[in-house]
A = this chain, B = another copy of it.
Amino acid sequence: MSAETDRSKAGIPKLADVARQAGVSTATVSRCLNDPSVVSERTRQKVMKAVERLGYAPNFGAQALAAKRTNTFGAIIPTMENAIFARGLQAFQEELGAHRTTLLVASSSYRPDLEEEQIRALVARGADALLLIGYDRTEATYEFLRQRNMPFVVSWAFDAGHSATTVGFDNRQAMQTLAAQVIDLGHRRLALISAERRDNDRARERVAGVLAAMADTGLAPDDLTIVEVPYSIENGSSAFAQLMARADPPTAVLCGNDVLAAGALTQAKAMGLSVPDDVSITGFDDIELAQIVDPPLTTVHVPHRDMGREAARTLIAARNGTEKVSSLKLQTQLVWRQSLGPAPKTG
């Protein structure tokens, strides 16, 4: 009882405590922990027992301060609320884990100022490398990264013209391919429920993809109605309702991602509209949700797991500084499911 109290009041064990307990020097303890191959087995045993007995854990601050590396990578994603980034991040972490590297995740709520804050926090914390989503951030942020010589990779996007190392996919191209199919099915009055484009290059590129497909077929940009809302099922629903309330409602509603599309679908059902007979709906991402809704969503499959894994490998290579790192463009794939059909004969 009193021992218990004493113990909790006692200071946190430090390297020196372990050293004393084991009857060796701090240097030996340090070596035991960081490069066991260099100490004798007998010493190692002693030290590890002391570590165990004392419940010692290294002080990260001191460790980082002295060693200038942390075996920690950081990732800043816009949101944890929906599954868009979950699968890719999981794969990212799995790959890091295989290399004894810890992942710290922060989320920016789609706000560049918060993202910069999180980047600084992670860098200050000694992250060895960073995973970032998309290109949209201030030049000052890039400058900060460069100045600190911080390895980072941009993901969930791909712009060959950008200097940042990237492991991602071409949002515009992907959306353009999908939109082309929609147009091919006879749809002329199109609508797009997009994420907010400000500070979100992926969203902008997807919009651009739709417009490009339309231009290819001689459709005017005005034939596309765009509604911008934050990603959420509910917002998808209300945006869809708003679109269908127009005098000249669209025959196909493309959505910036599957979450919005799921909302749109639900709303269509609530309005007694048949999908795809009355109106077609498409998504983007191909998260699990896309297969669950009824009808299942025609969407763009993004290789999230590959992306996460490859991003991790790229960063690990960059951290080790051995290989030269290079960008990697992954392919997306159109997934045909029932939510997309031919345009209705006439309105």
Contacts and interface: CB of A to CB of B under 8 A. Distances in A.
27 contacts: A8-B146, A8-B147, A12-B147, A55-B144, A58-B124, A59-B65, A59-B126, A60-B64, A61-B63, A61-B64, A61-B126, A62-B65, A63-B124, A72-B121, A80-B86, A80-B89, A80-B105, A81-B83, A82-B86, A86-B86, A102-B118, A104-B104, A233-B288, A266-B291, A289-B292, A292-B292, A293-B293
Contacts of A125: 60-61, 72, 125
A148 interface: yes
Interface in A111-125: 114, 118, 120-121, 123-125
Contacts of A62: 61, 65
Interface string A34-73: 0000000000000000000001011111111100000010
Given A63-B61, A82-B83, A292-B292, A55 B147 contact: yes
Contacts of A86: 80-83, 86
A229 to B, nearest CB: 15
A294 interface: yes
A304 to B, nearest CB: 11
Copies held by the complex: 2
Contacts of A104: 104-106
A181 interface: no
Interface string A87-122: 101100100010000111111000000100010110
A262 interface: yes
A307 to B, nearest CB: 15
A63 B59 CA distance: 12
A299 B39 CA distance: 57
Contacts of A146: 8
A79 interface: yes
A269 interface: yes
Contact of A90 (B61, B72, B79, B263): B79
Nearest to A288: B233
Nearest to A85: B80
Given A55-B144, A59-B126, A80-B105, 19 more contacts: A55-B143, A55-B148, A57-B124, A57-B148, A60-B64, A60-B121, A60-B124, A83-B86, A86-B86, A90-B107, A102-B106, A104-B106, A232-B288, A233-B288, A262-B292, A263-B292, A292-B292, A292-B293, A293-B293
A324 interface: no
Contacts of A322: none
A7 interface: yes
A125 to B, nearest CB: 4
A81 B289 CA distance: 12
Contacts of A103: 106
Interface string A230-263: 0011100000000000000000000000000011
